[in-house]
Amino acid sequence: MHKYAFPSLLVMVLAACQGQPGQQGELYVYTDAQGNLVTIEKVKPEEREAAATDRKAESLSLGEPLEDYRPSEDIDQELAEKERDRFITYMDESGQLVSRPVDMVAEREAEDSAEPDYAEVSKDEFLETYRTIRQDCCHHLLDEAVELAAGAEMLITFDQDSPVMKGDEPLKAKAVKLAEEVSILDLKAFIRKADYVAAQILWLDEEGRPVLLIDQPFSRKYPETWYRYGYLQGTLPRESGQRHLVVFLPYQQEQPSTDGLQAVLKGELLLSAQ
């Protein structure tokens, strides 16, 4: 009988250590990462809210500011500091993972004050040209033309199978129908090394008759970067009576262009509508 008495007493002591309901609350015991024995007490939600209410009421009675109130100037300053506290991580040439701070405010200021990364295509030097275009040059192209809506893009590709305009010379051409709401067109010709398709623009009316020829649609030249090809870009406003657009190559063989590049018969242009 006596050999069972001591274990019973140990069970009673452990039960007493767990706390009694209505007294100090529940106790949790665990071992942390360093091997220390940690005991914490769980506080009931209603008791925690009551304690917070008491502290708030005490602050108000003493005329002290609330702990969660901060002037807007302090918040703006903290946000500005957080903008500067950013890091970029990359692999260097030796294969090591490197992390360095990035001052986003300074980066943004430098970007705003930086010079444009494009070169203006000369507007003071013009080459007078003359080209005869038939009124029915592009009727057959309109039959297969795809409509371009505002906010949409279209990739125009010239290759050996491209259709040609009617006339004295079989010039490669691509016709596009424009939605009524389109008011501005953006044209990009991609540069591959020093080659690009030196396209010209021909506006047609509702009946498909030529109304305006643009022999130099590009106004800016962007250099090649590590993430994209270089390209020439031009913006074309759409005027009243211009219903269709024909992009064509005014030459039948590769040749040097006036902008120092090589005009070729194969390549891509990107047409964007607004």
The CA radius of gyration of the chain, in Å to the nearest whole number, is 38
| Same domain flag for 58 and 145 | no
| Same domain flag for 144 and 174 | yes
| Same domain flag for 146 and 227 | yes
pLDDT of residue 48: 59
| Same domain flag for 222 and 253 | yes
Task: Lay out the sheet containing 255-256: strands in order across.
Answer: 195-196, 262-263, 255-256
Tokens 């939600």 -> residue: 45
Query: For residue 120, is it within any domain?
Result: no
Minimal CA–CA distance to 175: which of 151, 204, 150? 204
| Same domain flag for 184 and 254 | yes
Query: For residue 255, is it within any domain?
Result: yes
pLDDT of residue 59: 55
Outline where 114-161 has alpha helix (H). 139-142
Single-letter amino acid code for the residue at 36: N
Residues 135, 207 contacting (CB under 8 angstroms) = no
Query: For residue 32, is it within any domain?
Result: yes
Residues 6 or more apart whose CB falls under 8 angstroms from that of 177 comprise: 142, 145, 146, 147, 148, 243, 244
Query: For residue 211, is it within any domain?
Result: yes
Decide the pairing of beta strands 244-248 and 200-204: antiparallel
Query: For residue 265, is it within any domain?
Result: yes
* Phi, psi (deg, nearest 5) at residue 204: -120, 155
Going residue by residue through the chain, which has 274 residues, state the pLDDT in tens, using 9 for 90 and above: 444 444 443 444 444 444 444 445 566 666 666 667 767 666 566 665 666 666 656 655 555 555 555 677 777 777 666 655 566 666 666 777 766 666 666 666 655 655 566 677 755 444 456 678 899 999 999 999 999 999 999 999 999 999 999 999 999 999 999 999 999 999 999 998 889 999 999 999 999 999 999 988 998 988 888 878 889 999 999 999 999 999 999 999 999 987 788 999 999 999 999 9
* Phi, psi (deg, nearest 5) at residue 125: -120, 115
Q: Read off the pLDDT of residues 23-82 as tens digits, 9 standing for 90 and up.
A: 455 666 666 666 677 676 665 666 656 666 666 566 555 555 555 556 777 777 776 666
Tokens 């005869």 -> residue: 132
Q: What CATH number has the domain bearing residue 154? A: 2.60.120
| Same domain flag for 39 and 87 | no
pLDDT of residue 18: 47
Domain count, the chain: 3
Q: Which two tokens stand for residue 113?
A: 């004050």
Minimal CA–CA distance to 244: which of 136, 133, 135, 138? 138
| Same domain flag for 172 and 245 | yes
| Same domain flag for 57 and 96 | no
What Å distances lie between residue 270 and 25, 63, 166, 187, 249, CA to CA?
Answer: 71, 67, 24, 6, 15
| Same domain flag for 144 and 170 | yes
Query: For residue 99, is it within any domain?
Result: yes
| Same domain flag for 98 and 55 | no
% of residues, the chain, pLDDT over 90:
41
pLDDT of residue 9: 39
| Same domain flag for 160 and 229 | yes
CA distance 199 to 156: 11
CA distance 231 to 235: 13
Return the SS3 of 58: helix
Minimal CA–CA distance to 158: which of 197, 202, 121, 105? 197
Single-letter amino acid code for the residue at 218: F
pLDDT of residue 11: 40
- Domain containing residue 252: 139-273
| Same domain flag for 237 and 143 | yes
Residues 182, 150 contacting (CB under 8 angstroms) = yes
Query: For residue 54, is it within any domain?
Result: yes
CA distance 156 to 144: 13
pLDDT of residue 251: 94
Query: For residue 131, is it within any domain?
Result: no
CA distance 170 to 126: 25
